[in-house]
Structure 1
Amino acid sequence: MALPPLERLAGLHDGTAVATGTGVKVAVEAPEGVTVETVGRDDARLGRAGTPVDRVAAQAYTSFELASVVTVPKETVLTEPVRIAVHGEGGVAFAHQVIELGPFAEAVVVIDHTGDAVLAANVEYVIGDGAKLTVISVQDWDDKAVHVAQHDALVGRDASFKSVVVTFGGDLVRLHPRVSYAATGGEAELFGLYFTDRGQHQEHRLLVDHNKPHNRSNAVYKGALQGEDAHAVWIGDVLIRAAAEGTDTYEMNRNLVLTDGARVDSVPNLEIETGEIAGAGHASATGRFDDEQLFYLMARGIPEHEARRLVVRGFFAELVQQIGLPDVEERLLAKIEEELEAAVA
């Protein structure tokens, strides 16, 4: 039987984890015009998008030595993505990353996590007025990795933020995407795809804080689970404050259980402090294969093994398409294919 989540945090939750020199290696590839800096703890740009909300995030914030700041200048429209590779080298690391877009800038950022590490991190996204930022965060860790991170996005006036979180590997992965608004007219889209395998614990805890009027948010997360003690947790919190009139928000979580022994906890929450909203809703569903879809495909001569694969690929298709980068999409589809080979064999 798998250990409880707290016992798998490798000391990140109680202060006993100590950074090592071989924790993670970070490499940034940025197009021309983008500024990449390594800064100290006293840099004024740190902490603007949000502050730590739990013990692990607080330890990460007090323990990192240097932070990385990626800046896309005002009105700069990138035609190539910024790529940040985070590779674990077997140790413990605390990290802080800031990605800032100036007013009316547009950028796509890919943050790719691989290797083996115990990593606690805070990531900030500061999106200027009228700017558009898409972030694809991929958790493709080795089997023993532990990754806990808080992602804070501050969305400016009439700005757009799209987050695509993809989680495959790791012994324990727990992510906290959080969104707040600096002014009116902002839009946030939060998409997530996770495939939880035998013994893995994957947790995604969202908070969208509608703290300003006339903003919009939409969250869609989908997961598939297989194997004994596979455990996925999804908690979607949306807070609509009294001042946030005209808010339009929706959140949805769907889970597909492929084998016995897997467990899903799915909790969508809405807290509404004003009746003057454009719309608010949530949905959650967990189930097995759609027997009607399976029968339809098999009735047309498709073998059961292939039919099951097609059903699961279709389940994830709309989220993969949100990525918008062919090389990343192809890699993730190949990873899903690899997981499905184990699931339906």
Structure 2
Amino acid sequence: MAATTTASEQVPAARTEDNHAHIDPAAQLLRTYEAPVQTRSERPHSFEPADFGEPNGHEVNWKHTPIARVRPLFAVATGDDAVQYEVSDERFVQPPLAIGVAPRGETFRPEDVVSAVAWQGSSQALHVRVPRGEEVAEPITVSITGTSAHDRADAHLVIEAEANSQATVVLNHSGAAQYAQNVEILVREGARLTVIAVQDWDRDAVHAASHQAVVAKDASLRHFVVSFGGDLVRVNPSILLAGAGSHADVYGVGFCDAGQHLESQVFVHHEGVATRANVLYKTALQGTDAHTVWVGDVLIGRNAVDTDSYEANRNLALTPGARADSIPNLEIEIGDIRGAGHASATGRFDDEQLFYLQARGISELEARRLVVLGFLSEVIQRIGIPSLETQLISHIERELADDEMLAPAEATA
């Protein structure tokens, strides 16, 4: 059932406002969310959905999203059985976390109405914890299965890797639902964690997720977003490199079909000294009104000396009528860094690659198939789980069986 706790019970270490203090008119506008917010670091946070109001599509973080299709996620679900959960190894499942029970909320702060709805609507959060110093060889798989495209569900998941541990956690989404989801990721000092979110929903599913991670000193996080199925899938990862020497590799791969909307708004915040981050997202688009959105925000904080950060997004349009929106942003508050950069490209097949393959006796259809597989495999092969990599490659090959991909396409970006 939906949670009924008050705001004061939800927000850790809530701050009391001084009613007699000077009121800054600009700050008042920000609190009511009427002032336009252009940078990711300025976005307001709240645990109350009403504080955000219903998006109208003009907001900076909603302007590329089809609001009508995601609107069912703007209100708290009335039940909790629309999605079923199964964990492959129960040894790592801890007692569920109610609102206000640590470590739930240790780092998570909702920054849009859907993440606030998911916070309120999940009275109990699934908690997966890897004990201190333990190295887990096999992936811990959380199977998340929707029961109906007409049913709503809210969820908050906490994935915690304790100090000096090592593990891989796979979130495998299938079936259909209208699903608002938060994933809170805690990577403690010296830990090495891989989180892989696979969206293999039925065609009519709607899924909006906020992944927020904090990475401690000398720890590392590898984060993957793999999106194939669903009508609308919006997964927004936010990574805080808080500890000195922390590191993150942030990857995404997707195949977008006609009428589908796949979206990721990525935020990497370099806060600690000598932090490193590499972001690479790749998508292929096929069919009329196939639409992908990638927004990459990097913030290098004022104390993040010796930072090294790079983000890139590549999109391959296979047919006319597909559209890819790609928006990289870089915000730097200190000059003493090792390096920072970003790149974005959207286009059609590489004619030189096709010519090279056809000159060696490979048919045009096979050449195009090989180019697409090679393009997306750059990300898939970094997952490190052979069975999952094979499964994803097979999925792409099934997508490419449609002869429609043969038509050269000029990308719309």
Which amino acid in structure 2 is aligned with residue 27 of structure 1?
E
User: Would you say 1:94 and 2:129 are equivalent positions?
Assistant: no
Aligned to 1:298: 358
Q: CA deviation at 1:31?
A: 6.9
After superposition, give the CA deviation of every residue in 1:114-149 in whole Å (9 maximum; x if it has no partner).
000000011011001000001111000011100000
Q: 2:294 is matched with which residue: 211, 226, 234? A: 234
Equivalence for 2:120? 62
Residues 254, 284 of structure 2: 8 Å contact kept: yes
**Structure 1 residues 195 and 19: alpha-carbon distance in aligned structure 2, compared to 1, 3 A threshold:** farther
Following superposition, the deviation at residue 281 of structure 1 comes to 0.3
- Which amino acid is 1:47 matched to? G
Q: Name the structure 2 match of 1:43.
A: 101
Worse-superposed segment, 59-68 or 150-159: 59-68
Q: What is the CA distance between 1:27 and its match in structure 2?
A: 0.5
> How many angstroms apart in 2 are the aligned matches of 1:165 and 1:283?
19
Letter in 2 for 1:24: V
In structure 2, what is the Cα distance between the partners aligned to 1:126 and 1:21?
25
Partners of 1:253 and 1:4 lie apart in 2 by 18
1:211 aligned partner: 271
Shift of 1:38: 2.1
Indicate the residue corresponding to 1:315 in structure 2.
Answer: 375
Report the 3-state secondary structure (helix = DSSP H, G, I; strand = E; otherwise coil) of the residue aligned with 1:341: coil
* Greater Rg by CA: 2
Q: Does residue 1:29 correspond to 2:88, yes or no?
A: yes
Task: Give 2:308's match in structure 1, choosing from 243, 248, 258.
Answer: 248
Out of 18, 31, 41, the residue aligned to residue 77 of structure 2 is 18
Structure ranking higher in strand proportion: 1
- Tell me the equivalent position of 1:223: 283
Q: CA offset at residue 36 of structure 1?
A: 3.3
Offset, 1:4 = 6.7
Q: Which residue pairs with 2:183 in the alignment?
A: 123
- Distance of 1:216 and 1:39 partners within structure 2: 31
Which secondary structure does the structure 1 equivalent of 2:72 belong to? Answer: coil
- Does 273-282 or 317-326 show the bigger shift? 317-326
Residues 123 and 149 of structure 1 are in contact (CA less than 8 Å); yes or no, is this contact kept in structure 2? yes
* Secondary structure at 1:297 match in 2: helix
Distance in 1, Cα, partners of 2:209 & 2:377? 26
SS in 2 for 1:228: coil
Q: Is the partner of 1:142 in helix, strand or coil?
A: coil
Paired residue secondary structure (2:142)? strand
- Residue ranges of structure 1 left out of the alignment (5+ in a row): none
Greater mean deviation of Cα atoms: 34-43 or 65-74: 34-43
Q: 2:225 touches 2:235 (CA, 8 Å); kept in 1?
A: no
2:130 to 47, 72, 92: 72
d(CA) in 2 for partners of 1:88, 1:213? 42
How big is the shift at 1:183?
1.6
Contact in 2 for aligned 1:10/1:118 (Cα 8 Å): no
**How far 1:49 sits from its partner (Å)?**
2.6
Q: Is the 8 A contact 1:187 1:216 kept in 2?
A: yes
Within 2, Cα distance between the matches of 1:53 and 1:10? 16
Indicate the residue corresponding to 2:70 in structure 1: 9
Q: Is the 1:19–1:94 Cα contact (8 Å) retained in structure 2?
A: no
Partner residue in 2 for 1:279: 339
Aligned to 1:191: 251
The amino acid of 2:206's aligned partner reads V
TM normalised by structure 2 equals 0.80
CA distance in 2, matches of 1:93, 1:79: 32
Runs of 4+ in 1 over 6 A off after TM superposition: none
Contact kept? 1:177, 1:205, Cα under 8 Å = yes
**Quick check: 1:31–1:80 contact (8 Å CA) kept in 2?**
no
Q: Distance in 2 between matches of 1:27 and 1:41?
A: 22
The unaligned stretches of length 5 or more in structure 2 are 1-63, 407-413
The letter of the residue matching 2:87 is V
User: What residue in structure 2 maps to residue 340 of structure 1?
Assistant: 400
Shift of 1:260: 0.3
Q: Please name the residue that 2:198 is paired with.
A: 138
TM value normalised by structure 1: 0.96
What are the Cα deviations for residues 225-259 of structure 1, in whole angstroms up to 9, with x where unaligned? 01111110000000011111111100000000000
Q: Does 1:179 align with 2:239?
A: yes
1:44-73: per-residue Cα shift (whole Å, max 9, x none)? 211113211111111111111211001111
> Secondary structure of the residue that 2:217 maps to in structure 1?
coil
Per the alignment, residue 44 of structure 2 pairs with none
| 2:51 equivalent in structure 1 | none
Shift, 1:21, TM fit: 4.5
Cα distance between partner residues in 2 of 1:23 and 1:195: 26
Which deviates more, 36-45 or 157-166?
36-45
How far apart, in 2, do the equivalents of 1:172 and 1:248 lie?
33
Cα offset for 1:296? 1.1
Offset of residue 164 of structure 1: 1.2
CA shift, 1:288, in A, is 0.3
Per-residue CA deviations over 1:52-101 (Å, capped at 9, x if unaligned) read 11111111111112110011111000011101000000121000100111
8 Å Cα contact 2:177/2:206 also seen in 1: yes
Native 8 Å contact 1:64 1:95 kept in 2: yes
One-letter identity of the residue aligned with 1:222: K
Q: Which amino acid aligns with 1:87?
A: T
Partner of 1:104, secondary structure, is coil
Q: Shift in Å at residue 298 of structure 1?
A: 1.1
